[in-house]
Structure 1
Amino acid sequence: MKKNMGDKDRMYRAIAGVLILLWGVSNANALGLIGFVVLATAYFRFCPVYIPMDIDTTR
């Protein structure tokens, strides 16, 4: 996996992932799993959705 996510994008995703995950846990909602996916993309610095759209925020 080639990294396609820059520092700002990674920071925003990490914050959003934590907030979504906490919201899902506090409301006992399965949508909190989306927060886990967002955190995983921030951790690996790779977003598979960026590939078809030819987006690379590392520039």
Structure 2
Amino acid sequence: MGSMDRGLRALVGIGLIAWGVTAQNWWGAIGIIPLFTAAIGWCPAYLPFGLSSCKTPK
């Protein structure tokens, strides 16, 4: 997972969690998923499609 991908996932995760807290509902818990994948640097959804957001060396 590339650094921009990780940063966007972390931002979206924090935003969803913050929205859930301010709206006082459990839907904000979905933010844990992008935050977790950003923290570990790997997305299981990329695996079946063979995707990668890392730069490849030339």
Name the residue aligned to 1:29: 25
Task: Look at both structures and tell me which one has the larger radius of gyration over its CA atoms.
Answer: 2
Number of residue-to-residue matches in the alignment: 55
Q: What are the ranges of 5 or more consecutive residues in structure 1 without an aligned counterpart? A: none
Higher relative contact order (CA 8 A, sep 6+): 1
CA RMSD of aligned residues (A): 0.8
Q: What are the ranges of 5 or more consecutive residues in structure 2 without an aligned counterpart? A: none
TM-score where L is the length of structure 2: 0.87
Runs of 4+ in structure 1 deviating by more than 6 angstroms, as ranges, are: none
Name the residue aligned to 2:36: 40
* Higher-helix-fraction structure: 2
TM-score where L is the length of structure 1: 0.86
- Residue identity over aligned pairs, in percent, reads 38
